[in-house]
Amino acid sequence: MVKEAAIREPLILGNKSYSDITNDVISPIMNKAPKAWYVLISIAAVIALWGLGCIMYLIGTGIGTWGLNKTVGWAWDITNFVWWVGIGHAGTLISAVLLLFRQKWRMAINRSAEAMTIFAVMMAAVFPGIHMGRIWLAYFVFPVPNQFGSLWVNFNSPLLWDVFAISTYFSVSLVFWYIGLIPDFATIRDKVTDPIRKKIYSLLSFGWSGRAKHWNRFEEVSLVLAGMATPLVFSVHSIVSMDFATSVIPGWHTTIFPPYFVSGAVFSGFAMVQTLLLIMRKVMKLESYVTIKHIEYMNIVIIVTGSIVGVAYITELFISWYSGVEYESYAFINRFSGPYWWSYWSMMTCNVISPQLFWVKKWRRNLSFTFVMSIIVNIGMWFERFVIIVTSLHRDYLPSSWTMFYPTWVDIGVFIGTIGIFFVLFLLFTRFFPVLALNEVKSILKSSGEEYKNKPDNHNHH
């Protein structure tokens, strides 16, 4: 057994055995759901249904029901798309990048973070889909042979790169997640007694039996998938940023965008993980696995990425003046002092100033404070996309076409609705899926468990 430095805080608290880990994680699946779960899923389902209704109304009537106008042709739709894709970056970052860096603390959070990633990317995909107006023609984004005089999609366009990036990211994340889930479904299969459930979980577990050779392959697949998912995470949001950066709109035409967007995505993704995990660990009694130390580690990632985002904002502002391009500098002056000044300053407060509070150790280990901060960061990151998109567009080159963007009830309804759908999916996940990677958590029990760390010698524990 590899011994870990004694000064490292344990990642599994209390006196846990392997079967305790199994029972703690799958007892929510075996037992009846608590009342709070029914209350939460009902609220989420109502919001989700409202959102679906708005989407159907939108598809039936047309995107004229949004508040878009001739000058602001992109507003909440793309804002929400980028916001959701950004949130979807934490899961794969946690499970892939932290796997490559051998960070053991990822093991307690990667499963739920990946679930969050998958659901967030699904929500993101809603927006370009419905923005097409005629969603039944969505297959046109793929290079399918057709009768229109062999008309192909434009491979020089970042919007098409986005199609490839998002679909690759979604499907690879899904496969990565499911491969990790198979052994844990097998654990549930061997544990449940109800015949119907046993049947469902044995179907889901693909007949996994935990043979040594299979584990050998499992680890190789996890490592190689992590190795490929790591550049994939960075490429996806870089490509999303190129949707803007390769255009010629002042405020968008910026080479700093790819790294700035990627760190912003990780920043907002971790904030969403915090929001979800802080509730989950409490409701599902997982405090021994998702410890204060885990929360602190994630808050440290939030400080780092939040600071990168802050530097990017200021660099952008400086370069807009230093470049000497008057259109560029006007776009930025308009951002912080124009009619949308409030959104710029909310973004600055939420994303640049507030994460710096985590430098105080006591605060970053405080759960209520972290929870409030995670919400603030997500609001800030939504404003960031709104600022970039709407304030760069609303004052066109011709002052005669200057305008403002006002969301309609459909804009608001679709956005709120996707939050509802997201929470419905996540709540279903917590009810029926193992929310912790059982096999991975068990494998670090002896190196990072509190009981084993406090023993004088890890080798002779019998």
Partner 1 sequence: MNTEKIIYGMYDDEQELMGAAKSLVSKGVKVTEVYSPFPIHGLDPIIGIRPTRLGDMAFIYGLFGMTMALIGMRYFMVVDWPMNIGGKPNFSLLENLPAFIPVTFEFTVLCACHGMAITYMFRNKTLPGMPASNPDPRTTDNMFVIELNTADNKDFSSEQLSGWLKETPVVELTEKVYTIQEEI
Binding site for partner 1 (CB under 8 A): 1, 17-19, 22, 143, 149-156, 158, 160-161, 164-165, 167-168, 171-172, 175-176, 179, 182-183, 186-187, 189-191, 202-203, 205-221, 223-225, 228-229, 231-232, 235, 239, 242, 438-440, 442-443, 459, 462
Say how far apart CA 220 and CA 179 lie, in whole Å: 12
Please report how close the Cβ of residue 114 comes to partner 1 at its closest, in angstroms.
Answer: 14
Query: Which residue number, 134 or 217, has a Cβ lying nearer to partner 1?
Result: 217
> Backbone phi, then psi, for 449, in 5-degree steps?
-75, 145
Q: How far is CA 297 from the centre of its chain?
A: 17
Please report how close the Cβ of residue 390 comes to partner 1 at its closest, in angstroms.
Answer: 26
C-alpha dist (Å) from residue 434 to 30, 180, 185: 11, 10, 7
Helix (H) or strand (E) holding 23, with range, is: helix 18-30
Please report how close the Cβ of residue 190 comes to partner 1 at its closest, in angstroms.
Answer: 4
Query: Which residue number, 179 or 416, has a Cβ lying nearer to partner 1?
Result: 179
Based on C-alpha coordinates, what's the Rg of the chain? 23
Q: How far is CA 188 from the centre of its chain?
A: 27
> Backbone phi, then psi, for 12, in 5-degree steps?
-125, 115
Please report how close the Cβ of residue 241 comes to partner 1 at its closest, in angstroms.
Answer: 12
Of 324, 303, 266, 283, nearest in space to 117 by CA? 266
Cα torsion at 248, 252, 256, 261 (round to 10°)?
Answer: -140
Say how far apart CA 423 and CA 193 lie, in whole Å: 29
Query: Which residue number, 158 or 264, has a Cβ lying nearer to partner 1?
Result: 158
Query: Which residue number, 149 or 399, has a Cβ lying nearer to partner 1?
Result: 149
Max CA pair span of the chain: 82
Query: Which residue number, 119 or 177, has a Cβ lying nearer to partner 1?
Result: 177
Please report how close the Cβ of residue 24 comes to partner 1 at its closest, in angstroms.
Answer: 12
Please report how close the Cβ of residue 192 comes to partner 1 at its closest, in angstroms.
Answer: 10
Query: Which residue number, 166 or 381, has a Cβ lying nearer to partner 1?
Result: 166
Query: Which residue number, 155 or 397, has a Cβ lying nearer to partner 1?
Result: 155
Query: Which residue number, 26 or 41, has a Cβ lying nearer to partner 1?
Result: 26
**Structure-block tokens of residue 112:** 């739920």
Of 324, 270, 322, nearest in space to 297 by CA? 270
Query: Which residue number, 94 or 295, has a Cβ lying nearer to partner 1?
Result: 94
Of 23, 7, 29, 5, nearest in space to 289 by CA? 23
Query: Which residue number, 189 or 281, has a Cβ lying nearer to partner 1?
Result: 189
CB neighbourhood size of 151 (10 A): 10
Say how far apart CA 294 and CA 7 lie, in whole Å: 15
Say how far apart CA 282 and CA 292 lie, in whole Å: 12
Query: Which residue number, 170 or 267, has a Cβ lying nearer to partner 1?
Result: 170
Say how far apart CA 303 and CA 363 lie, in whole Å: 12
Please report how close the Cβ of residue 15 comes to partner 1 at its closest, in angstroms.
Answer: 14
Burial 380-397 (b: 16+ CB within 10 A, else e): bbbbbbbbbbbbbbbbee
CB 351 within 8 A of CB 380: yes
Query: Which residue number, 8 or 214, has a Cβ lying nearer to partner 1?
Result: 214
Q: How far is CA 82 from the centre of its chain?
A: 11
31: left (phi over 0), alpha (psi -120 to 50) or beta: beta
Question: What single-letter amino acid sits at 32?
Answer: K
CB neighbourhood size of 272 (10 A): 27
